[in-house]
Structure 1
Amino acid sequence: MKWLANCLNSLYSSSCTSELATNNILPPIDIKELSPVVAVDCKGCMKPCAQHPLVPSHLNIDQSKPLHNTVPPYAIHIILMTGKTDWPSRIEEEGLARAFTQCIQKRKNLDKRPFENRYHPAYFGNTTDENENQRVIVTNSSLPSMYSTTGMDIILLPDNIIIANITLKRVDALLDYIFGKPCYQAFSIYPCPFSSLILVCGHGTKDRRCGTVGPMLQKALQQASLQATKEEGTTKVALVSHLGGHAFAGNLVVYTYNGHRAIWYGRVTPCYCKDIIENTLDDDKVIEDLVRGIFEVKSKPNLACQAKLEW
C-alpha cells in the first residue's frame, strides 16, 4: 500500500523540469577544469578609510588565531531560500531547516552520490578518497523563493540547481533522491541562475558580531559588484544563517564557477569587499590572509602555489 501511495503521489506532484529520472541519483556534474587559484596579499583600503564604515571595536573580533583550515570538509550545501533574515538562534529547531537536519542525521554515512557531486578540500589533505567527509551543510538564506507555489525553493550545491515546492512532508523523499536511494516522487528542478554566489553570515540572533558585520559586508559587496565589469545578474549576494567561526566575523563563502568552487573567508571588513569582487570573482585570486578554506568539485592541488596554500 505504501508503494502504491507513493506512485499515486508522484502522478500529482510537480513534474521534474529538467526531466531527471526520480528513481535514480542526480547525474554527475558536467564541469570543465577549473583555473588554478593564486594567492595574493591584500591589505584592503588605505588606513584610515573614509569610504567604508568601521567594524565596531567592542565586537572583539579575534585577530590572533590562524584562519587556515577552520572550515571542516563538507560534501553538500543545501541553501533554503527563506526570503527573510529573522531566523531563530538555532535554525535546526524550526521549520524546513529542522526537517533537513533530522533527516540528514538518519542518513549519516549513507550518501551514495558520485565523487564528482561532492566538495573536496582543494589545496590540502587527500582529495581522491571516495569515503571523504560526507558532511551536509544546511543554511537559511535571505534569498526569496523564485519558483515555489507551495513550500519553499532550495539551492543544492555543488549541483547548482534550484528545487522548488519543498515542504516538511517532502524533505525525506528529496534526500532519498539527492543521496541516490529509490524515490517515487517527482521534483521541479531548475538551473540556478547565479554563476557566482556570495553568502555572508548575518545571523544576528546567533551572534551579535555577525549580526552587525554581515549587513555591512552585504552592502559593500553589492556596491562593488555593481561597479564590476562582470555580466549583470550573474553574481548574487545574500545574508545567511550560521556559517561557523563567529569569532572571525565577518564570515562569508564565495561560490564561483556555477557553484563548483567554494572559497571561505573570515575577518572580512567592508574595506576588503572590492578586492574580493575584483580578485576572487574575476581573476581566481584568493586573499591569503583571509582564507579559511577552499573546496572544489573534482579538485586537484595547484602545485604552482602549493607552498603558499599548503596549510
Structure 2
Amino acid sequence: MAAASENGTSDISTESVVVDDDVKFGFQRPEMYTETLTGSVNPYGRHVFLCYKSHEEWPARVESSDSDPLPKRLAGAIKDRKNDIAVKTMLTICESGDGTGLSDGDVLIFPDLIKYRGLEESNIDSFVEDVLVNGNPWSAGTGEPVTGSYVFVCAHNSRDKRCGVCGPVLIEKFNEEIGVRGLKDEVFVGACSHVGGHKYAGNLIIYSKVQEEKVSGHWYGYVTPNDVADLLDQHIKKGEIIERIWRGEMGVPPVEKTEKVAEQTLPNGNDLKENAKDEKENTGGCCQGANGFSCCRVDNSEAKKDGKKSTYKFDFFTRKWEQHEIYTAAAVVGAVATVAVAYSLYKRTR
C-alpha cells in the first residue's frame, strides 16, 4: 500500500517501483524465453577480465570512456594488436573493491587461470606484448594461479537496464546459496560489463577447471534466481550443463554445432559423455567486447568461403567431365551404327 504524506497525497511505494521494474526489465518481462539461446555466443579462445571500479560506476561504453583511461587504453592496445594475437581474445570489465578480493588493475585470464596485479596505463603495452601476443609470463608482473570456479554476472545497468535489474539480484542469490553450501572459498561471483545479448538477461558466464587440466567457459541466459541452486549443484558441482538456459561455450564455434545431445555433461561430471555440437552461428563479429569491438585476429571466414568455392568448382568440372564422357560414348555408338548401315548397303549392292 502506498504511504501517505503529510499533506494527504499518496507517495509511490518503493515496492511498486521494484515490481514495475521487474515486469519491464526483470525476470517477468514478456521477452523472457522467446528466443533460442543455443549458438548465441561468438567464438573465442581466451577471456581477459580487467578489474575496475564498481558496476554502478561504469559508463555505458566503459571501454571507450575518456573518464576511464585504464580500460580504454587496454581495449585500444588489444584492438591495435588483434592481428598479432593468435588466440581470439575477448575483453570484459569485472568489478573490484570491497568483498571481491580484487583491486583496480588486477587482470584475470581464462582459460589460463592466471591473475596479474598492478596493470597501469604505463605498462599496458608490455602486458599485451608479453602475455597476449607472445604467450609468455608478464615481465612487469608475477602471475598468480586462479583456483575454484568463477561466475561473472552481467550487471551493466548504464548499458542496458535489463542487465542492471537482473544482474544484482542474481549476484545476491548466488552469494546466499554459496553461503548455505559452504562454498565461499570455492566459488567466486562478481559483476561484469556487457558481454553481448542484453535481451537474454540475466546473463552469466561460468569458468571452471575440468579434467585433464582443461578449463571450461559456459554461458547462460534467461537466468532467474530459481536457477541459481541448479547452476551450483548441477553445473559447478556435477559438471552437468543446464540445457534450457545454455547459450554456448568458450572454444567451440557455434557454426560447428549442428546437433546436440539432450543430456550433456561437462568432463568433470559424474558421467563423461561426448558432447555433440549445437546449432546456429551468432550474428556479429568474433569476440565482441563490452564496447562492441573485435579484439581477435582476423578469422579465416574468407578461407572457408574459398574452400566452399573450390569444392563447388571441383564438382562443376566433375560434372562437366561426366557429360563429356557421355557425349563421347554417344558419338562412338553413332559412328559404329553408321558403319554397320553402310556395310549392309554395300553387301546388298554386290
CA distance in 2, matches of 1:198, 1:100: 23
CA distance in 2, matches of 1:142, 1:249: 18
Residue 146 of structure 2 is aligned to residue 176 of structure 1? no
1:291 to 246, 249, 262: 246
Match of 1:137 in 2: 90
Equivalent residue letter for 1:270 = P
Higher relative contact order (CA 8 A, sep 6+): 1
What displacement does 1:229 show? Answer: 5.3
Match of 1:207 in 2: 160
Equivalent residue letter for 2:225 = P
Equivalent residue letter for 2:50 = L
Match of 1:70 in 2: 40
CA distance in 1, matches of 2:79, 2:224: 35
Q: 1:58 to 1:175 in 2, by over 3 A?
A: same
Kept in 2: contact 1:80–1:140 (CA 8 A): yes
Q: Secondary structure at the match of 1:223?
A: helix
Q: 1:209 to 1:98 in 2, by over 3 A?
A: same
Kept in 2: contact 1:163–1:190 (CA 8 A): yes
The Cα offsets for residues 214-266 of structure 1, whole Å up to 9 and x where unpaired, read as: 00000111111122255x41210001110110001000001111881111000
Match of 1:280 in 2: 235
Alignment of 1:214-253 (within 5 A): 214-228=167-181, 230=183, 232-253=184-205
Match of 2:150 in 1: 197
Residue 28 of structure 2 is aligned to residue 84 of structure 1? no
CA distance in 1, matches of 2:170, 2:82: 34
2:22 to 49, 53, 56: 56
Q: Secondary structure at the match of 1:250?
A: coil
Structure with greater strand share of residues: 1
CA distance in 2, matches of 1:238, 1:102: 24
Equivalent residue letter for 2:196 = G
CA distance in 1, matches of 2:221, 2:237: 20
Equivalent residue letter for 2:49 = I
What displacement does 1:106 show? Answer: 1.3
Q: Secondary structure at the match of 1:285?
A: coil
Q: 1:138 to 1:248 in 2, by over 3 A?
A: same
Residue 132 of structure 2 is aligned to residue 161 of structure 1? no
What displacement does 1:188 show? Answer: 2.1
CA distance in 1, matches of 2:179, 2:151: 14
What displacement does 1:310 show? Answer: 3.2
CA distance in 2, matches of 1:290, 1:164: 34
CA distance in 2, matches of 1:277, 1:193: 19
Q: 1:64 to 1:146 in 2, by over 3 A?
A: closer
Equivalent residue letter for 1:68 = T
Aligned length: 231
Alignment of 1:92-107 (within 5 A): 92-94=63-65, 95-107=69-81
What displacement does 1:55 show? Answer: 8.0
What displacement does 1:184 show? Answer: 11
Match of 1:188 in 2: 141
Q: 1:216 to 1:184 in 2, by over 3 A?
A: closer
The Cα offsets for residues 97-126 of structure 1, whole Å up to 9 and x where unpaired, read as: 2112211121122124xxxxxxxxxxxxxx
Q: Percent identity?
A: 25
Q: Secondary structure at the match of 2:248?
A: strand
What displacement does 1:201 show? Answer: 0.2
Kept in 2: contact 1:253–1:264 (CA 8 A): yes
Q: Secondary structure at the match of 1:188?
A: coil
Q: 1:166 to 1:56 in 2, by over 3 A?
A: same
Find the structure with the greater CA-based Rg: 2
- Higher mean displacement: 54-63 or 88-97: 54-63
What displacement does 1:63 show? Answer: 2.2
What displacement does 1:135 show? Answer: 3.1
CA distance in 2, matches of 1:212, 1:272: 16
Say what the alpha-carbon RMSD is for the aligned residues.
Answer: 2.9
Structure with greater helix share of residues: 2
